Structure 1
């Protein structure tokens, strides 16, 4: 599992996907989220603006990413 550090209290799901290099663009993030290919804490998440906080786990393309604060 990859641990990704964010600064601040939260980050939106689409921005997190770009920040962690899961995708190369916001358009890619939007596409995969809307197609139900992104999981947040074990559940499919289709809201690209969903706020992600420390402790959350995002799964995409067979990889897991845990959110951590600075």
Structure 2
């Protein structure tokens, strides 16, 4: 299953992403989860919960799917309000 994760900041950590997509229920579970399951970021195994994931990256989580990280682009405004 392919999913898109939209982020507002420049990056999201792997632990935050796992919580965001409801793989874990709390940030404290990230270390345990990553020690038990092989998570791939751009086809490379990753086990650091603090690993920064930038827009354009692909994260594969076993039994959960493939997630594509994208920047949440808000509609450009038409300039300042007078």
Which TM-score tier does this pair reach, normalised by the shorter chain? 0.7 to 0.9
Unaligned runs of 5+ in 2: 73-82
Aligned to 1:52: 53
TM-score (norm 1): 0.86
Q: Which has the higher strand share?
A: 1
Larger radius of gyration, structure 1 or 2?
2
Q: Structure 1 stretches of 5 or more lacking a match?
A: none
* Total equivalences in the alignment: 70
Q: Which residue of 1 aligns with 2:66?
A: 64
Is 1:19 matched with 2:20?
yes
Give the alignment's TM-score, normalised by structure 2: 0.75
* Poorly superposed stretches of 4+, deviation over 2 Å: none
The root-mean-square deviation of aligned C-alpha atoms, in Å, is 1.4
